[in-house]
Amino acid sequence: MNRKEFLIAGSLSAFSVSIFGNVKPKGNDFEGDCETTNDILGPFYRPDVPVRNDLTAKDLKGTVVELKGKVFRGDCTTPIENAMVEIWHCNTDGEYDNESKHFHLRGKWLTDEKGNYSFKTILPGKYLNGSQYRPAHIHFRVTAEGSRELISQLYFQGDPHITNDPWASKKEAERRILPIALEDIHGNLSVVFDISLRDN
Ligand SMILES: [Fe+2]
């Protein structure tokens, strides 16, 4: 690879982590497969969760994190208003609330006119899948008029249990393994996850 090719490859890889996803050169244009990939629903989905975006509670153990982002159409640039983003995850002991009327650590929220959503929740713990732990993850389901339903999961960078997990280790999960960022001067944490739906 000469210097020019190296620079082009470098700029493409920088591009590939943008909201445009895995952008491939095609002549002078770009052809993107930027939609968010799906993942398994898992056995712990519950319908009819409350509409709320603060999933924390007074006596809940765990590290608080803000999960936020935008929901886009299939072009990965047009924001979707009123997309329903639903999330569910386990507590720090790796347990889901599968029965209580409180629907702990489950909620759904509509995007605003700019496609933004946000949840205040805690970082999930881990649970066993057979003899090995699944990596920490947050399940989500996103629906919007004119788009296909998306069911997927996000994971966290640096998690040692990703490599051996049958789902998180898949190539298509790569862009769903996210950094946890220091949000502000007070040590608050955030995870930014932009979601692109496939058009109907
Ligand atoms: Fe799960």
Tell me, in angstroms, the distance from the centre of ligand 1 to residue 18's CA.
Answer: 27
From first to last of its 200 residues, the chain has per-residue pLDDT tens of 344 343 333 333 333 333 334 444 444 344 446 899 999 999 999 999 999 999 999 889 999 999 999 999 999 999 999 999 999 999 999 999 999 999 999 999 999 999 999 999 999 999 999 999 999 999 999 999 999 999 999 999 999 999 999 999 999 999 999 999 999 999 999 999 999 999 99
139 is catalytic: yes
Domain 35-196 has CATH 2.60.130.10: yes
> With contact defined as beta carbons under 8 Å apart, do 172 and 184 qualify?
no
Q: Where are the domains of the chain?
A: 1-34, 35-196
How would DSSP label each residue in 41-103? --TT--SS--B-SB---TT--S-EEEEEEEEE-TTSSSB-TT-EEEEE---TTS----S-TT-
Tell me, in angstroms, the distance from the centre of ligand 1 to residue 93's CA.
Answer: 12
134 is catalytic: yes
Whole-number pLDDT of residue 59: 87
Q: What are phi and psi of 98, to 5 degrees?
A: -95, -10
Which residue in the list 134, 141, 175, 176 is annotated as catalytic? Answer: 134
Determine which helix (DSSP H) or strand (DSSP E) holds 120, and give its type and residue range.
strand 116-122
Tell me, in angstroms, the distance from the centre of ligand 1 to residue 27's CA.
Answer: 41
Which residue in the list 73, 96, 106, 155 is annotated as catalytic? Answer: 96
Whole-number pLDDT of residue 10: 37
Which residue in the list 89, 139, 141, 176 is annotated as catalytic? Answer: 139
- 3 state DSSP class of 171: helix
Tell me, in angstroms, the distance from the centre of ligand 1 to residue 137's CA.
Answer: 6
96 is catalytic: yes
Tell me, in angstroms, the distance from the centre of ligand 1 to residue 46's CA.
Answer: 12
Question: Ligand 1 being an ion, which residues bring their Cβ within 5 A of it?
Answer: 42
Which residue in the list 89, 137, 141, 175 is annotated as catalytic? Answer: 137
> With contact defined as beta carbons under 8 Å apart, do 119 and 55 qualify?
yes
148 is catalytic: no
